[in-house]
């Protein structure tokens, strides 16, 4: 093994312009693997890092967190993975040893070890990436907008090599978050009426997961007409323009209100509306990530009428478990990944994908290496 040089999208500090640059990707240390990245989605959270609205320390970061690739080399003590294995990069991974992990509640792990992994710092406190000779840190511990990356073994989930890596990379963030919101957090069931506010890269996955869970009425709300078309393709039974009186439109479809409403935008004022769209005893799920320091405001009686307001940290996923479930759904023909991809581009064109975030007519831009 020896250091590999790779082209990568580097953000020197939050709220600066990212640059395409060569980085050094060091050998994997104990319990780590180096991955040759095949493809990476460009997610809204990469955009938030660039805008400076994502909480992160001031230091160089290799962007990208929705990737898949082939294991190039493994460090000492790595079990269950070998060079040549196909892997999907997982974001937050449970530590496995804290009280919640020991109780079988790994999706609620909040240990210092988990937070360290998510901030791109290896178990020994270092980083395996170098930019201009100084440490750079992989976004969410994976940094997939790069030709190579070195990650913790737990952040590489092995998948059948027969699966298309250029579609399964999307399982790492947008898809798994949407599915987790439906299956792990809200637990949507057959016959449910579901409203999804925000039909972007995560929202359409909430829609297709709700359809898989048996929801009979799925109402998509968005301000972009093309996104409403996309929502229909992924299983929405009704679409509503965001600028309309959404409560009135929903009332015509389901007078009691929705069983479950998903807010997939991250705007506090939308969350107030979403809570108001639920029936008595209904559930409102916060999938969108609100800006740092945001406050919520709603009539307390809304919640006291048996309603539930639920948080949704990345879909409350346990990566190994949930990626295996996505593979099963894909094989059963009920998970559409190809339809999420609006454009396939090279790394050189990543800036056009970043510009299109939040206002494109499709769910995802995909960088293919
Ligand atoms: Zn993401
Ligand atoms: Zn834990």
Q: What is the pLDDT of residues 43-68, one digit of tens each?
A: 999 999 999 988 888 899 999 999 99
- In the chain, pLDDT over 70 holds for what percent of residues? 100
Confidence of residue 206 (pLDDT cuts 50, 70, 90): very high
Which pair of tokens denotes residue 248?
């009135």
Candidate from 86-90, 203-207, 360-364 with smallest mean pLDDT = 360-364
Q: DSSP letter string over 107-161?
A: GG---HHHHHHHTT--TTS--SEEETTEEEEEGGGT--SBSEEEEEGGGEEEE-T
Q: How far apart are CA 242 and CA 197, in angstroms?
A: 8
Nearest partner of 307 among 257, 264, 265, judged by Cα: 257
How far is CA 271 from its chain centroid?
A: 19
pLDDT band, residue 210 (cuts 50/70/90): very high
- Under the banding of pLDDT at 50, 70 and 90, the label for residue 149 is very high
Q: Which ligand is nearest to the CA of 67?
A: 1
Q: What mean pLDDT comes out for the span 90-95?
A: 90
Closest listed ligand to the CA of 93: 2
pLDDT at 130: 98
Buried/exposed code over 181-220 (b: 16+ C-beta within 10 A; e: otherwise): bbbbbbebeeebbbbbbbbbbbbbbbbbbbbbbebebbbb
pLDDT on residue 54: 86
- Could you tell me which residues are beta bridge partners of residue 41? 366
For residue 25, report the distance from its CA to the centre of ligand 1, in Å: 22
Angle, CA of 295, 299 and 304, to the nearest 5°: 110
Instruction: Considering every ligand atom shown, identify the ligand nearest to the alpha carbon of residue 103 and give its number.
Output: 2
Give residue 118 CA to ligand 2 midpoint distance, Å: 13
pLDDT on residue 290: 87
Q: What is the pLDDT of residue 269?
A: 93
Which residues partner with 74 through β-bridges? Answer: 33
Q: Quick one: which ligand is closest to 104's CA?
A: 2
- What mean pLDDT is predicted for residues 318-344? 95
Give Cβ neighbours of residue 324 (< 8 Å, ≥ 6 apart): none
Q: What phi and psi values does residue 150 have, to the nearest 5 degrees?
A: -115, 125
CA 47 – ligand 1 centroid, Å = 9
* Residue 358 pLDDT: 75
Ligand positioned closest to the Cα atom of 99: 2
* CA 268 to centroid of ligand 1, rounded, Å: 20
| Section 3-17 average pLDDT | 96
**Domains and their CATH numbers in the chain:** 4-172+337-368 (3.90.180.10), 175-311 (3.40.50.720)
User: pLDDT category, 359, cuts 50, 70, 90?
Assistant: confident
Ligand 1: centre distance to CA 201 (Å): 9
Contact predicate 60/23, CB 8 Å: no
How many angstroms is it from 115 CA to the middle of ligand 2? 10
What pLDDT sits at residue 92?
Answer: 80
CA triple 185-190-194, angle to 5 deg: 60
Choice among 2-6, 54-58, 78-82, 127-131 with the minimum mean pLDDT = 54-58
Quote the ligand 1 centre to 366 CA distance (angstroms). Answer: 12
Average pLDDT over residues 193-211: 97
Instruction: Supply the pLDDT for residue 129.
Output: 98
* Predicted local confidence at residue 357, as pLDDT: 87
**Is the CB of residue 331 less than 8 Å from the CB of residue 306?**
no
For residue 366, the SS3 value is strand
**Residue 101: is its pLDDT beyond 90?**
yes
116 Cα–ligand 1 center, Å? 18
Ligand 2 mean position to 9 CA, how many Å? 31
Pick from 15-24, 62-71, 238-247, 294-303: least confident = 294-303
- When pLDDT is averaged across residues 131-152 and rounded to a whole number, the result is 97
Q: What is the CA radius of gyration of the chain?
A: 20
Question: Residue 154 CA: which ligand is closest?
Answer: 2
User: How much distance in Å is there from the Cα of 140 to the middle of ligand 1?
Assistant: 9
Which ligand is nearest to the Cα of residue 49, counting in written order? 1
Task: Give the pLDDT of residue 57.
Answer: 87
Ligand nearest to the CA of 173: 1
Stretch 247-264: mean pLDDT, rounded?
A: 97
Residue 111 pLDDT exceeds 90: yes
Compute the average pLDDT of residues 110-123: 94
Starting from the CA of residue 364, give the closest ligand.
1
Q: Which ligand is nearest to the CA of 115?
A: 2
Round to whole Å and give the CA distance between 215 and 195. Answer: 10
- Nearest ligand, CA 97: 2
Distance 302 CA to ligand 1 centre (A): 31
Measure Cα distances from 299 to 106, 112, 303 in Å.
Answer: 33, 36, 8
Q: Which ligand is nearest to the CA of 110?
A: 2
Amino acid 24: pLDDT: 98
**CA–centroid distance, residue 323 to ligand 2 (Å):** 19
Q: Which of 68, 49, 70 is nearest to 58 (CA)?
A: 49
Q: Which ligand is nearest to the CA of 169?
A: 1
Mean residue pLDDT of the chain comes to 95
From the list 217, 357, 207, 189, the residue with the least C-alpha distance to 287 is 207
Query: How many Å lie between the centroid of ligand 1 and the Cα of residue 351?
Result: 16
Expressed in angstroms and rounded, the spacing between residue 111 Cα and the centre of ligand 2 is 5
CB 189 within 8 A of CB 214: yes
Residue 160: its pLDDT value, please? 97
């Amino acid at each position: 093994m020896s250091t590999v040089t790779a082209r990568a999208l580097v953000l020197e500090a939050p709220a600066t312009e990212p640059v395409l640059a060569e980085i050094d990707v060091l050998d994997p240390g104990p319990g780590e693997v180096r991955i040759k990245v095949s493809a990476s989605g460009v997610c809204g959270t990469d955009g938030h890092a660039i805008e400076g609205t994502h909480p992160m320390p001031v230091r160089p970061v290799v962007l990208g967190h929705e990737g898949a690739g082939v294991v190039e080399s493994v460090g000492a003590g790595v079990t269950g993975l070998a060079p040549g294995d196909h892997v999907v990069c997982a974001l937050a991974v449970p530590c496995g040893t804290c009280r919640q992990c020991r109780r079988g509640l790994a999706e609620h792990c909040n240990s210092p070890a988990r937070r360290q992994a998510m901030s791109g710092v290896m178990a020994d406190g270092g980083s395996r990436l170098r930019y201009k000779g100084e440490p750079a840190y992989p976004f969410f511990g994976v940094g997939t907008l790069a030709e190579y990356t070195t990650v913790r073994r737990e952040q590489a989930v092995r998948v059948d090599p027969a699966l298309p890596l250029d579609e399964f990379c999307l399982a790492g963030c947008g898809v798994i978050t949407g599915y987790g919101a439906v299956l792990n957090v809200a637990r949507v069931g057959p016959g449910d009426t579901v409203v999804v506010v925000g039909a972007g890269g995560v929202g359409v996955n909430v829609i297709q997961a709700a359809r898989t869970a048996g929801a009979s009425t799925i109402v998509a709300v968005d301000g972009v007409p093309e996104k409403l078309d996309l929502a229909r393709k992924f299983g929405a039974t009704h679409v509503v323009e965001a600028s309309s009186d959404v409560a009135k439109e929903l009332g015509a479809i389901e007078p009691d209100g929705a069983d479950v409403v998903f807010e997939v935008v991250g705007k506090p004022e939308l969350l107030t509306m979403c809570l108001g769209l639920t029936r008595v005893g209904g559930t409102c799920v916060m999938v969108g990530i609100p800006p740092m320091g945001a406050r919520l405001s709603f009539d307390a009686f809304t919640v006291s009428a048996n309603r539930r307001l639920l948080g949704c940290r990345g879909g409350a996923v346990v990566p190994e478990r949930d990626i295996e479930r996505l593979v099963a759904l894909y094989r059963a023909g009920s998970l559409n990944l190809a339809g999420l991809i609006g454009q396939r581009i090279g790394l050189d064109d990543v800036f056009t994908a970043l510009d299109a975030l939040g206002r494109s007519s499709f769910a995802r831009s995909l960088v293919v290496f």
